[in-house]
Structure 1
Amino acid sequence: MAVPAGVAAVVREMQDRLDAMPGDSPLRDFLSTYQRTTTAVGQAITDGVFADGEWVEEWDVVFAQLYVRAYDAHIDGGHVPRPWRIAFDAPADLPSLRKVLLGINAHVNYDLPQALLGVISDADFADPVLLGKRKRDHEAIDGVLASRVAAEDDELTATGGKSLVDRVLQPLNRVSSKRFLREARQKVWHNTHELQVARLAGPAPYDVRLGELELLSAAKVADLLAPGQVLLRLAVAGFGVVLPPAA
């Protein structure tokens, strides 16, 4: 069955950028992974996995556009948020797995709370029943992502994007990946509420809190550039970031 029209349009936008990339672009690994994951989310919408598929489709488009804008700004020499700037400017000779993780980290920690705010209005936040429904669909995406971990792991192995140590640790890495994606998504929901409080207070307080999230997210992306087994380190230290209470 075809994926929803909004998701299909986003997948085409991603393909346009993949087609324009040099074959050896270090940015190809993340975008290829993201395109496959977006298609999987679209298929889950079609399959009725979510309570409100139309809302999830809207969220998926808003979320993807945050990446597309950051990527286009990077290519055009425009302003790129710090987490994405670090991810895009990472050394080209990094293993493919590390490149994918850099992009996932920037996108989930920095972009996802903004995307959720883009599709959850002030009135929605004031409605506990509706907000609960939104939260359950947000959590249901974990299942879609978890279902992709093994397939993406195999893709990286097949294309030579993993070291011998990565391959030896593959079963543990898969468990770690599912765990840190779930942990990050829980923190995202917390950060979305913190940004909502700031949004209610006005544009200036919101900009301050978003700036805090940008710095925290950038620091976490930078952590992934440290040497060592990144998935094992994330399994211990965690993947997400947490906005502290407003001062």
Structure 2
Amino acid sequence: MIQRKAVAMTEITTIDGVLEELDEIIETSVAEGSPLAIFAFVYRRTTAKIGEGIEKGQFEDPRRMERFDVDFAKKYIRAFWRYRHDKPVPFVWKIAFDAAEDPDGRNPIILQHLLLGMNAHINLDLGIAAAETVPDGQIQSLKKDFMMVNTLLEELIDEMQERISRASPLLFLIDWIGEQNDEAVVNFSLRRARDFAWNVAVTLAHADEEEKEHIIRNMDQQVLKVAKRVLDPPGFLLPNVLSLIRTFEEKDIRVIIDKLK
């Protein structure tokens, strides 16, 4: 396992700085053959998309948006390197990182690795970062820019689904399953997750410090339940379809990342 010094979070102040850190995470994960590179790559793409939106003037307050996006990204970057140095991380991040080492032999598919990262970063980190971005009592001033991100990210959905399909040719079966049931691994909704995160941000913005700690701990436990369903969905049909998808998808992480590019 490649080791490095813990990231000095205070040194990351721009989106370009975030992209450099994400590049290092991707490079490290690919070198180790770790599927953690999958989420890191997709997240880098979305971060770059937000950076483009800032440059194009698509946000009401570009400087605040960059500060928000940087603080949000740092929560993932910090969790990644803390985990590698055997330091505590939120439960929902630990299950996502543990899945890459796969101690229980579940062999998650590419989509599951991606959703585990999205679940932790959006359902847990995003609301916290939003509440920390604005002064007390001013959370509503962030709402328009927060929701604008939905529009930018949804533009990436079809693109990323097509790219993932290059490495996972039977991924289309997930769409078919989605018409049959509502299991979490199938119907993880980016917009619904971000709406949840906004509600969390509003709740945290009106809580005192002691209440915030309690809310975040409870939220970590709640989001962990979603992660467990993504990783080990109940029933008969979905687990067997995932097994079929896994059989025919690319296993080499370097090749997977090349196909996502």
Return the TM-score normalized by structure 1: 0.78
CA deviation profile, 1:32-74 (whole Å, cap 9, x unmatched): 1101111011011111111111111111100000000110011
Give 1:95's aligned residue. 109
Give 2:192's aligned residue. 183
Counterparts in 2 of 1:79 and 1:98: CA distance versus 1, 3 Å:
same
Q: CA deviation at 1:23?
A: 5.0
Q: Secondary structure at the match of 2:189?
A: helix
Counterparts in 2 of 1:161 and 1:212: CA distance versus 1, 3 Å:
farther
Quick one: which of 101, 122, 128 aligns to 2:136? 122
Q: Secondary structure at the match of 2:206?
A: helix
Give yes or no for the alignment of 1:72 onto 2:84.
no
The separation in 2 between residues aligned to 1:41 and 1:171, in whole angstroms, is: 31
Q: CA deviation at 1:162?
A: 5.1
Identity of aligned residues (%): 26
Alignment of 1:77-226 (within 5 A): 77-90=86-99, 91=102, 93-125=107-139, 131=140, 133-160=141-168, 163=171, 165-166=173-174, 180-199=189-208, 203-226=209-232
Root mean square deviation of aligned Cα: 2.7
Residues 178, 187 of structure 2: 8 Å contact kept: no
Alignment of 1:39-78 (within 5 A): 39-78=48-87
Select the structure with the greater relative contact order (CA < 8 A; seq sep ≥ 6): 2
Q: CA deviation at 1:81?
A: 0.5
Q: CA deviation at 1:225?
A: 1.4
* Paired letter, 1:57: E
Runs of 4+ in 1 over 6 A off after TM superposition: 167-172, 176-179
Q: CA deviation at 1:94?
A: 1.1
Residues 95, 162 of structure 1: 8 Å contact kept: no
Q: CA deviation at 1:124?
A: 2.1
* Paired letter, 2:157: V
Q: CA deviation at 1:179?
A: 8.2
Q: CA deviation at 1:160?
A: 3.0
The separation in 1 between residues aligned to 2:219 and 2:68, in whole angstroms, is: 20
